[in-house]
Structure 1
């Protein structure tokens, strides 16, 4: 079903936009749907979908090139984080990170007078960045990293399990069909 949306190998070879990538872009595992390439694509996409807040698809595509993972699956899987899921993802990442670091669950905000002083100061942005990094940044980044690694591992294992289950079900249906044909053939004799 998904194969009809994927480009053909010839169209990839002919593409002027992809020529700069050289022979690596012609690796069959980047485009074919097989168990290992799809599982690696899901893991890479899940990792970059949760870890990198900007340029998720290009980052996943570059890593997919070197890991020989399915490029399309990696790109689509990065979409687990989108404008509708950013809030819950960042909230849970902060909660996880703050519980691991031992930071307070709520972030102290600057008072109105302190905010006005920082806005007037020429180097206030450095103070604000340092306050963010020490206040919310470390727990958030740690939580995002932990969630991204966990999602990558779970995604890889889930893709492997899903693929294996589909193969076993297909074999079971074929076995039952052969047994039914053999039984019908025996009844005809």
Structure 2
């Protein structure tokens, strides 16, 4: 079942509850709805996690956890999905986001070399921040919408196949 597949890849809920950055949410972390794997909670978790992955700030996990609590999405998936943007993938993903954002601005695209350093932030970010943030917003929204839709479709197909299999099993046992 879809739940079994997802559970294989999720961290232990206790480790997430004891995360020092997530302790700010206190008793809200003990809401059982945040730990269940339902079509609703998983689809919303994908939306939140994928959207938060495109937010170019540290501690994206905290933002995703807050969103999961607010929208009663699966907290583990929401937090885990923000790691799509990690130190290895960040230059490619945020470079693409800048490219997408620069499509909306009439000025010519500026070439830049992304560097994760304070010096680069102080000298270069002011030149590209508008297309970069717009690109992050657009990419985050598109990823969230497609992620949500893909999970809802996958879940529906999976459940329909299970129902068909049960019907076949029943018809075989009746004969």
TM-score range, shorter chain: 0.7 to 0.9
Select the residue among 98, 102, 105 that pairs with 2:102.
Answer: 98
TM-score (norm 2): 0.78
Q: Determine the structure 2 residue equivalent to 1:84.
A: 88
Deviation at 1:30, TM superposition (A): 0.2
Select the residue among 131, 135, 141 that pairs with 2:133.
Answer: 141
Q: Name stretches of at least 5 consecutive residues in structure 2 with no aligned partner.
A: 114-118
Q: Secondary structure at the match of 1:60?
A: helix
Distance 1:87 1:68, change over 3 A: same
Q: Determine the structure 2 residue equivalent to 1:160.
A: 152
TM-score (norm 1): 0.73
Deviation at 1:148, TM superposition (A): 0.6
Q: Determine the structure 1 residue equivalent to 2:52.
A: 48
Aligned residues: 161
Structure 1 ranges of 4+ moved more than 6 A: 17-20
Deviation at 1:22, TM superposition (A): 4.7
CA contact (8 A) 1:49 1:81 kept: yes
CA distance in 2: counterparts of 1:169 and 1:31, whole angstroms: 25
Q: Determine the structure 2 residue equivalent to 1:28.
A: 32
Map 1:9-24 onto structure 2 (within 5 A): 21-24=25-28
CA distance in 2: counterparts of 1:6 and 1:95, whole angstroms: 34
Q: Name stretches of at least 5 consecutive residues in structure 1 with no aligned partner.
A: 110-124
CA distance in 2: counterparts of 1:39 and 1:166, whole angstroms: 14
Distance 1:21 1:93, change over 3 A: closer
In the alignment, is residue 172 of structure 1 matched against residue 164 of structure 2?
yes
| Partner deviation per Cα, 1:129-172 (whole Å, 9 max, x = no partner) | 5x632x21111111011101111111111111111111111111
